[in-house]
Amino acid sequence: MNKLLKQILIRIVLKNKRDQDNPAQECTDQELKEAWKIFKINTIRYFKDIILITIGIFSAAFGFKGFLLTNHFIDGGATGISLLISALTIIPLYILLIVVNIPFIIMGYFTIGRTFAIKTALAITGLAFVVATVEFPNITNDNLLVALFGGFFLGAGIGLSIRGGAVIDGTEVLAIYLSKKLGATIGDIIIVINILIFGTAAYFLSVEIALYSMVTYLAASKTLDFVIEGIEEYTGVTIISSYNDLVRNMIIEKLGRGVTVYNGKSGYGKAGEAKDIEIVYTVVTRLELNKLNTELEKIDSNAFVVMSSIKDSKGGMIKKRPLKH
């Protein structure tokens, strides 16, 4: 390993474990090996996230300019609010996309974490830039096709952004925040928000546009669920690893989530050999799965992980500890 690469690993990866002023030769071979592994995982993950978010931005922008804007159709959530205000005023959509989502970005910083907030801010800014500068052809004027395919491309864009660790519609962050404050389910909060949006559209635009906008929302939400593989609001994660203490500490310190550790027995091999093991269980939101998978891979890439969809959850397990920013 050359000297420059060693210095990079020490300053970027090992900065929290040892003094940055230490020369590379003071690091053990094992430390450098682990640092190289973490560096590769982070680099690959960031590259994948950038690709997913970029594709998501262009997909959503195509849904806006190729379908929805010309017919004044709207969607649910923050994008729906932006489209509705744009249809009623002379304010350009690209400005509204940023302004409407600013409170949700701030909320995401305290609810999810700093990295998520930064990614989301960059993704929304990128979407606004593409909407403002890139020209897309008007595909069709058929109202039903506009509603279906506008929702499809918009939902795909939002879903791909979530897969990349960000959102381009901040409503879900608001729903997660309010569910903790009010005790209501995330799904119920999203429904209430969208009822208000579509009711406003029916009053100020027309009932017909509001009905087509509901079709747009349904198409977008189903596409979003498909893109992120049907992940529900909360996901229960069971982890079996030889490094269960490190996994437990990672979930508590990096994600701010509570964990449950229970004893079990593993059985494998032809003879059914068994040994005692500790099983780690936690509940995270789908916005945090990206970070959980990345951090887990750094600790144990061979860990056995089972994820199950949870409709909703209440109580201490889902309550986050304050993160150190």
Within-domain flag for 268: yes
- Summarize pLDDT for 258-289 with one digit per residue, the tens: 888 988 877 765 566 677 888 999 988 877 88
Domain harbouring 281, CATH code: 3.30.70.120
Running DSSP on this structure, what letter comes out for residue 324? Answer: -
| pLDDT(153) > 90 | yes
Query: What is the model's pLDDT at position 190?
Result: 80
Do residues 170 and 96 both lie within one domain?
yes
Query: What is the model's pLDDT at position 165?
Result: 87
Query: What residues have CB less than 8 Å from 311, skipping those under 6 apart?
Result: 185, 187, 232, 233, 234
Within-domain flag for 23: no
Tokens at residue 97, please? Answer: 């996309």
Within-domain flag for 38: no
Structure-model confidence comparison of residues 55 and 307, the more confident one = 55
Instruction: Please enumerate, as own/partner, the contacts of 142-147 that have beta carbons within 8 Å and a separation of 24 or more.
Output: 143/71, 143/73, 143/212, 144/212, 144/215, 145/67, 146/67, 146/68, 146/70, 146/71, 146/73, 146/212, 146/216, 147/73, 147/212, 147/213, 147/215, 147/216, 147/219
Range of the domain at 301: 234-318
- Summarize pLDDT for 176-200 with one digit per residue, the tens: 787 777 776 766 778 888 889 999 9
Indicate the pTM of the whole model: 0.73
Within-domain flag for 297: yes
Within-domain flag for 95: yes
53 touches 126 (CB < 8 A): yes
- Summarize pLDDT for 21-50 with one digit per residue, the tens: 454 446 666 777 777 778 788 888 889 999
Q: What percent of the chain has pLDDT over 90?
A: 29
Do residues 169 and 194 both lie within one domain?
yes
Within-domain flag for 59: yes
Within-domain flag for 243: yes
Tokens at residue 202, please? Answer: 């029916």
**Domain total of the chain:** 2
Do residues 68 and 211 both lie within one domain?
yes
User: How many other C-beta atoms lie within 10 A of the C-beta of residue 213?
Assistant: 29
Query: What is the model's pLDDT at position 178?
Result: 79
Mean pLDDT value across residues 69-98: 88
| pLDDT(4) > 80 | no
**Residue 245: half-sphere exposure toward Cβ, Cα within 13 Å:** 0
| pLDDT(149) > 90 | yes
Do residues 239 and 267 both lie within one domain?
yes
Mean pLDDT value across residues 162-176: 85
Do residues 251 and 267 both lie within one domain?
yes
Tokens at residue 256, please? Answer: 């701010």
